[in-house]
C-alpha cells in the first residue's frame, strides 16, 4: 500500500515565516489529515505533556500536530480505536512512520512483535480479558508506535483499557516525565496485569471441567475443545512477549534506558514469564483431561454395550424356554389332531388299545422333548 513519501526522521513541516504555527483550515494540514478533523470517531484521546504534566487536550489530529510544534520539548500521546486509513496516513506523514508498520496497524490479527524502524519503535501486543457471563476469553490487539516525542496507540478490540494507564501515568508525573518509553512500559505492564484475571478464570474453568468429566456430563468434550482453542490463542499472545521484553532489556545500554524503567521492565518480564508458564501448564492439563474424558467415554460405551449384550443374552434364554415349551405342547396337539379327524377308514379306530396308545404316545414325545431341551439347558 503506497504511503505519502517520507521525510528525514524527526523533521516537522516547515514553519511559516515568523515562527507562527500553521492553523487548521489554512491549507497547511499534513497530507491526508484534511478529512480527519471532521470525523474524530476513532480518536479516543490525544494529549500533550510537558515535564510529565498534561498541558493540552486537542480536539483533532490536526490540532495535535499544531500544538506539538508549539511545544518542541513536549510529548504527544494519541490513542486511536479502529482508525480509518486516512487517519493512519496522516499520522504516518506527520511522524514519519514506516509504511510496513502502518500497513500492520491497519490490519488486525498480527502476532505480537517488536520492530525498530530508525528511531521509531513499533510494538504489537495481544491483550486478553475474561468474560464471566460467557466463561470465555476475549482477545484484543494493540499496536504502539513509540518515537522521540510521541506515542501512538492503535487498538483493535475492547481490551486493553488504556484510560486506566493514562490516569495512572498522569498521577505519577516523575515517571511520565521520562518520556514515551515510560508510557510504553506502563502499557506493557497493563497488558500483562490483564492476564492475571484470565489465568484465574481459566483455572476455575479447568476445575469445573474436571468435575464434569468425572460426573459424566456429555457436553464436557465441547467445552474442553473450546477452552483448548482459547489457550492456543493465549499462548500465541504470551509466548512471543517473553522474547520481546528480553529484546528490550538487551537494548538498555545501547539506548540509555533510565534505571527506574529498567527495573520496571524486568518486573514486567518476570510476570509475563510466569503467565506464559501457566498457560503452557493449562494446555497440558487440558490435553490430559481430554485423554481422561475419552477413556471414560470409551469405558461408559463398553459398559453400555456389555449391558445390551447381557440383555440380549437374557432375551435369548427366554426365547429358548418359550420355544421349548411350545415344541413340547405341539407334540400332543399334533397326535390329538390326527386322531380327531372324522374319517371312517382310519387305522386303530377299532383297536381296543387305540386310546391308551395315543395318550402314551403323547406322553412319550413330551417327556423325550423335555429331557432333550433340559440337557441343552434350554429349560
> Please, are residues 97 and 91 in contact by the beta-carbon 8 Å criterion?
yes
User: Which residues lie below 8 Å from residue 360, measured CB to CB, with a gap of 6+?
Assistant: none
Q: In the beta sheet, which residues pair with residue 138?
A: 129
Q: Residue 93 corresponds to which cell in the numbers above?
A: 506523514
Mean pLDDT value of segment 182-187 = 91
Q: How far apart are CA 208 and CA 217, in angstroms?
A: 11
> Please, are residues 245 and 265 in contact by the beta-carbon 8 Å criterion?
yes
pLDDT tens profile 213-225: 888 787 888 889 8
Mean pLDDT value of segment 59-65 = 88
> Please, are residues 121 and 152 in contact by the beta-carbon 8 Å criterion?
no
339 vs 56: which has the higher pLDDT: 56
Q: How far apart are CA 81 and CA 85, in angstroms?
A: 12
The answer to whether residue 243 scores a pLDDT higher than 60 is yes
In this prediction, residue 19 carries a pLDDT of 39
In this prediction, residue 49 carries a pLDDT of 92
In this prediction, residue 195 carries a pLDDT of 93
Mean pLDDT value of segment 303-328 = 82
The answer to whether residue 30 scores a pLDDT higher than 60 is no
User: Which residues lie below 8 Å from residue 7, measured CB to CB, with a gap of 6+?
Assistant: 96
In this prediction, residue 41 carries a pLDDT of 52
Residue found under cell 492553523? 23
Q: Are strands 53-56 and 150-156 parallel, antiparallel or unpaired?
A: unpaired
pLDDT tens profile 72-110: 888 999 998 888 888 899 999 999 999 999 998 888 788
The answer to whether residue 196 scores a pLDDT higher than 50 is yes
Helix (H, G, I), strand (E, B) or coil at 206: helix
In this prediction, residue 84 carries a pLDDT of 86
Q: Any idea which of 79-83, 129-133, 184-188, 349-353 has the lowest mean pLDDT?
A: 349-353
Q: Any idea which of 63-77, 125-139, 356-370 has the lowest mean pLDDT?
A: 356-370
Q: How confident is the model at residue 253 (pLDDT cuts 50, 70, 90)?
A: low
Taking the CA of residue 358 as centre, how many other CA atoms within 13 Å lie in the half-sphere pointing to its CB?
Answer: 16
Q: How far apart are CA 339 and CA 349, in angstroms?
A: 9
DSSP H or E stretch at residue 120: strand 120-131
The answer to whether residue 6 scores a pLDDT higher than 50 is no
Mean pLDDT value of segment 302-325 = 82
Mean pLDDT value of segment 153-179 = 87
Q: Which of 147-151, 257-261, 334-338 has the highest mean pLDDT?
A: 147-151
Q: Are strands 150-156 and 75-81 parallel, antiparallel or unpaired?
A: parallel
Q: In the beta sheet, which residues pair with residue 43?
A: 80
Q: How far apart are CA 156 and CA 352, in angstroms?
A: 111
In this prediction, residue 256 carries a pLDDT of 67
The answer to whether residue 32 scores a pLDDT higher than 70 is no
Taking the CA of residue 305 as centre, how many other CA atoms within 13 Å lie in the half-sphere pointing to its CB?
Answer: 6
Q: How far apart are CA 96 and CA 12, in angstroms?
A: 9
> Nearest to residue 185, comparing CAs of 91, 81, 106, 255?
255
In this prediction, residue 82 carries a pLDDT of 87
Q: Average model confidence (pLDDT) for the chain? A: 80
Q: Which whole-number Å values give the CA distances from 359 to 80, 365, 377, in the listed order? A: 107, 10, 27
Neighbours of 362 (CB within 10 A): 17
Q: How far apart are CA 299 and CA 313, in angstroms?
A: 21
Q: How far apart are CA 191 and CA 70, in angstroms?
A: 33
> Please, are residues 173 and 53 in contact by the beta-carbon 8 Å criterion?
yes
Q: How confident is the model at residue 59 (pLDDT cuts 50, 70, 90)?
A: confident
Q: Residue 29 corresponds to which cell in the numbers above?
A: 494540514
Amino acid at each position: 500500500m503506497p504511503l505519502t513519501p517520507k521525510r528525514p526522521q524527526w523533521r516537522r513541516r516547515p514553519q511559516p515565516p515568523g515562527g507562527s504555527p500553521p492553523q487548521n483550515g489554512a491549507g497547511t494540514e499534513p497530507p491526508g489529515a484534511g478529512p480527519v478533523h471532521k470525523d474524530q470517531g476513532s480518536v479516543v484521546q490525544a494529549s500533550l505533556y510537558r515535564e510529565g504534566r498534561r498541558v493540552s487536550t486537542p480536539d483533532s489530529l490536526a490540532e495535535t500536530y499544531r500544538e506539538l510544534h508549539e511545544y518542541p520539548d513536549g510529548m504527544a500521546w494519541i490513542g486511536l480505536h479502529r482508525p480509518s486509513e486516512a487517519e493512519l496516513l496522516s499520522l504516518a506523514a506527520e511522524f514519519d512512520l514506516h509504511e510496513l508498520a502502518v500497513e500492520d496497524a491497519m490490519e488486525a490479527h498480527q502476532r505480537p512483535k517488536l520492530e525498530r524502524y530508525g528511531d521509531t519503535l513499533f510494538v504489537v501486543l495481544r491483550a486478553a480479558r475474561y468474560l464471566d457471563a460467557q466463561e470465555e476469553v476475549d482477545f484484543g490487539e494493540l499496536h504502539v508506535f513509540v518515537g522521540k516525542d510521541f506515542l501512538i496507540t492503535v487498538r483493535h478490540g475492547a481490551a486493553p483499557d488504556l484510560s486506566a494507564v493514562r490516569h495512572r501515568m498522569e498521577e505519577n508525573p516523575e515517571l511520565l516525565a521520562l518520556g514515551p518509553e515510560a508510557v510504553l512500559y506502563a502499557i506493557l505492564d497493563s497488558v500483562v496485569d490483564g492476564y492475571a484475571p484470565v489465568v484465574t478464570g481459566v483455572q476455575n474453568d479447568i476445575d469445573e471441567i474436571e468435575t464434569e468429566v468425572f460426573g459424566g456430563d456429555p457436553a464436557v468434550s465441547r467445552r474442553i475443545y473450546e477452552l483448548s482453542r482459547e489457550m492456543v490463542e493465549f499462548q500465541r499472545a504470551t509466548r512471543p512477549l517473553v522474547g520481546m521484553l528480553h529484546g528490550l532489556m538487551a537494548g538498555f545500554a545501547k539506548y540509555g534506558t533510565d534505571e527506574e524503567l529498567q527495573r520496571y521492565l524486568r518486573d514486567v518480564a518476570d510476570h509475563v514469564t510466569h503467565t506464559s508458564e501457566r498457560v503452557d501448564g493449562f494446555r497440558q492439563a487440558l490435553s490430559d483431561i481430554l485423554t481422561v474424558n475419552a477413556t471414560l467415554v470409551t469405558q461408559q460405551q463398553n459398559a453400555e454395550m456389555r449391558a445390551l449384550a447381557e440383555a440380549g443374552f437374557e432375551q435369548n434364554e427366554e426365547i429358548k424356554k418359550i420355544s421349548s415349551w411350545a415344541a413340547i405342547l405341539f407334540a400332543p396337539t399334533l397326535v390329538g389332531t390326527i386322531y380327531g379327524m372324522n374319517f371312517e377308514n382310519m387305522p386303530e379306530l377299532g383297536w381296543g388299545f387305540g386310546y391308551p396308545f395315543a395318550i402314551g404316545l403323547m406322553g412319550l414325545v413330551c417327556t423325550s422333548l423335555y429331557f432333550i431341551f433340559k440337557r441343552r439347558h434350554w429349560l
